[in-house]
Amino acid sequence: MLNKRLVGVITVKNNIAVQSFGYKNYLPIGDPRVLAENLDRWGADEIHVNCIDRTLNDQGPNFELISDLGSAGLSTPIIYGGGIRDSNDGVKAISLGADRVCLESIIFDNFDEIVKLSNVLGAQAIIISMPMSIEKDELVLYDYKKKINHPITKNHLSLLKNNIVSEVLLIDHINEGHLNKFNKKLIDKFPLKTISLILFGGIGGEPLLREVFEHPQTIAIGMGNSLNYKECAVQYYKDQLVGLPIRRDKIHFSGKD
């Protein structure tokens, strides 16, 4: 049976891994590669590297970082997000070391390129990021470039209904970085009930972790800050999820003799 995944999220700003609090306040942690190596060693199911300033600064993807991660010998799948402008950027990210790409602003800026990218990479390699909140009891999407909320767009729905992308990274951007504050209403109000969701933002342990993992639409949980507080944090949180369909392999193999 297919397992649900615990995804280690590395938020990167100015090339430095940071702890983020609602995407408003940041504390530096260090080298993103070191964090990725830790998550790889600890047995994270996927690693999401999210470079949050690349689009705002019009810098394009952080190919240097992707290449650095690609050459690190990591054997955990890498999801890369940040600054992807067109299909060429997406293909290059995969060839340098990413396994999947996560898209956000391109949905507003260059929609046709997502279709093109899907035709080249396959939809399974593409995730869309949707920072959401509840406003007047309605689900709204946050456009971080314009800094406004609005309803989910036709473009988003089209990508999902037509299987142009595979999964949604549903971010509680308001509670991101705040322990166990994830708003469960975001899942309940998500309009498409068959879409697999990766939940992120304010999920840091029992009982919320188990509760959201058990939701049938949840395919993965992303954790950021919580994984930086202790050694082997991935295994620690997986131990809290006994009885749920998650992978619990031992980590011990080093290479050929």
Partner 1 sequence: MKDILIGIVDYGTGNLASIKNTLYYLGYRSIISNDKEVLDEVDLILLPGVGAFPHAMETIRSLKLDFFIQAKAKNNIPIIGICLGMQLFADISYEGRPTKGLGLISGEVKPISNSSWHIGWNKMQLYKKDNLFSSSDLRSMYFNHSYYFDVDEKYKIAKSILNSDGLAIPSVIMKNNIIGFQFHPEKSQDAGKELFINTIEGIDYAQ
Task: Supply the minimum distance, in Å, between the C-beta of residue 191 and partner 1.
Answer: 17
When asked if residue 115 is in the footprint of partner 1 (CB under 8 A), the reply is: no
Each residue 223-252 as x (binds partner 1 by CB under 8 A) or -, in order, gives ------------------------x-xxxx
- Interface positions, 4-43, toward partner 1 (CB under 8 A): 4-5, 40, 43
Residue that the structure tokens 């970082």 belong to: 65
When asked if residue 162 is in the footprint of partner 1 (CB under 8 A), the reply is: no
Residue that the structure tokens 């890498």 belong to: 78
Structure tokens given for 237: 């949180």
The string of DSSP codes covering 16-72 is EEEEEETTTEEEEEE-HHHHHHHHHHHT-SEEEEEETTTTTTT----HHHHHHHHTT
Task: Supply the minimum distance, in Å, between the C-beta of residue 178 and partner 1.
Answer: 27
Task: Please state, in angstroms and rounded to a whole number, the distance separating the CA atoms of residues 37 and 32.
Answer: 9
CB-nearer residue toward partner 1: 76 or 133: 76
Residue type, 1: M
Task: Please state, in angstroms and rounded to a whole number, the distance separating the CA atoms of residues 201 and 224.
Answer: 8
H/E stretch holding 153 reads none
Among positions 38, 50, 166, 226, the unique one binding partner 1 when judged by CB under 8 A = 166
When asked if residue 124 is in the footprint of partner 1 (CB under 8 A), the reply is: yes
When asked if residue 196 is in the footprint of partner 1 (CB under 8 A), the reply is: yes
Q: Is 136 helix (H, G, I), strand (E, B) or coil?
A: coil
Task: Supply the minimum distance, in Å, between the C-beta of residue 95 and partner 1.
Answer: 5
| CA-based R_g, the chain, Å | 17
When asked if residue 174 is in the footprint of partner 1 (CB under 8 A), the reply is: no
Instruction: Output helix, strand, coil percentages for the chain, rounded to the nearest 5.
Output: 30, 30, 40
CB-nearer residue toward partner 1: 138 or 239: 239
When asked if residue 192 is in the footprint of partner 1 (CB under 8 A), the reply is: no
When asked if residue 100 is in the footprint of partner 1 (CB under 8 A), the reply is: yes
Among positions 25, 95, 155, 240, the unique one binding partner 1 when judged by CB under 8 A = 95
The footprint of partner 1 (CB under 8 A) covers: 1-5, 40, 43, 45, 67, 70-73, 75-78, 91, 94-100, 118-125, 163, 166-167, 196, 219-220, 247, 249-253, 255-256
